[in-house]
Amino acid sequence: MGISTFVLFRQGESISASDLLKNIRKISINYGLYFSNNYDEYDETGKLKFCTIYISDIPFEESYSRQIPWNLYDEPYKFQTVDFNWDDSKSQYFKALVSEDFYENEDLLFKILYGILKIYPSAEVWIEDNWFYTIEDLEKIKNKPLDNEWCYKNPIDL
Full residue range of the structural domain in which residue 87 is found: 6-157
Provide the domain count of the chain.
Answer: 1
Using the predicted structure, report yes or no on whether residue 101 has a pLDDT greater than 60: yes
Q: Is the peptide bond before 76 cis (omega within 30 degrees of 0)?
A: yes
Q: According to the model, what pLDDT value does residue 100 have?
A: 87
Task: Give the pLDDT of residue 65.
Answer: 86
pLDDT per residue as tens digits for the range 28-63: 999 999 999 988 999 999 999 999 999 999 999 888
Distance CA 74, CA 18 (A): 8
pLDDT at 3: 87
Does the pLDDT at position 1 exceed 70? no
For 77, how many CA atoms within 13 A lie in the half-sphere containing its CB? 24
Give the global pTM. 0.94
What integer is the mean pLDDT of 78-101? 94
In a domain, 138, yes or no: yes
The answer to whether position 1 is within a domain reads: no
